[in-house]
Amino acid sequence: DAMVIQNPRYQVTQFGKPVTLSCSQTLNHNVMYWYQQKSSQAPKLLFHYYDKDFNNEADTPDNFQSRRPNTSFCFLDIRSPGLGDAAMYLCATSRVVTPPLFLAKNIQYFGAGTRLSVL
Amino acid sequence: DQQVKQNSPSLSVQEGRISILNCDYTNSMFDYFLWYKKYPAEGPTFLISISSIKDKNEDGRFTVFLNKSAKHLSLHIVPSQPGDSAVYFCAASAGSGTYKYIFGTGTRLKVLA
């Protein structure tokens, strides 16, 4: 049973045409992450939500936005996709406990990803 | 500036032999490490972890070794099976309560029957 579900699995968009990628989870985890992964590269964290708090990575372009309307869903919006935005987009979740327990670390659970093509 | 490096893009091993996947890091603040396995068309799945207070962690056929002085960790798979063929990512985080990880570029393992 898939616990982190990404839709669609494949998305084709046109240069400059806004696109939204979707992620849902059944784990009731409080943190949701979006990663971008290009071919032969490491997954790169774009941003994450800790509950309702949005946390952007310093080098994430403004072209990328995110929404988390509730615990279960998180969206990645690309306002004006460029050719360089073609990539695999991975959503992940984790359950973070606060205050942090000594040596408690949080395993991230990933969806299968959405492969975005930009024409 | 890549803080987590997996310098071998690919590795081929005969079935039944040992697979050794390597990962190097540069940030001495990293204190927790994960290994993920990824099959084609699937998301990465958690495999095994190690804290910096240990130098070894075992889970069945999988063992992770950590050498803090060398800033190096390795994943050993013994014996290797064809179903182990996948891409393996190492990931690192720093500080108690930190819940963000830096990933390596991955190593594609092929286990030959």
pLDDT confidence of A71, banded at 50, 70, 90? Answer: very high
pLDDT confidence of A40, banded at 50, 70, 90? Answer: confident
Alpha-carbon Rg for chain A in angstroms: 14
Do the Cβ atoms of B97 and A98 come within 8 Å? Answer: yes
Q: Which residues of B touch A42 (CB under 8 A)?
A: 2, 4, 89, 102-106
Quick one: average pLDDT of B27-45?
92
pLDDT confidence of A63, banded at 50, 70, 90? Answer: very high
Structure tokens at B83: 């179903």
CA distances from B32 to A32, A85, B80, B91, B109 (A): 20, 31, 25, 8, 23
CA A109, chain centre distance (Å): 12
**pLDDT of amino acid A99:** 59
pLDDT confidence of B99, banded at 50, 70, 90? Answer: confident
Quick one: average pLDDT of B80-106?
89
Q: Which residues of B touch A35 (CB under 8 A)?
A: 103
Do the Cβ atoms of A104 and B43 come within 8 Å? Answer: no
Query: Which residue from A minimizes the CA distance to B9?
Result: A40
Q: Which residues of B touch A31 (CB under 8 A)?
A: 99
Quick one: average pLDDT of A67-94?
96
Q: How far apart are CA B8 and CA B89, in angstroms?
A: 11
**pLDDT of amino acid B105:** 95
Q: Is the pLDDT of residue A102 over 70?
A: no
Query: A75 CB near a chain B CB, below 8 Å?
Result: no
Quick one: average pLDDT of B17-35?
95
B59 Cβ contact partners less than 8 Å away, ≥ 6 residues apart: B47, B48
Strand extents, DSSP E, B3-106: 4-5, 10-14, 19-25, 30-38, 45-51, 56-59, 62-67, 72-77, 86-94, 102-103
Instruction: Mean pLDDT check: name the lowest of A63-67, A95-99, B5-9, B91-95.
Output: A95-99
Tally of CB atoms within 10 A around B61:
14
Strand extents, DSSP E, A16-110: 19-25, 31-37, 44-50, 53-56, 64-67, 73-78, 87-94, 109-110
Quick one: average pLDDT of A26-40?
93
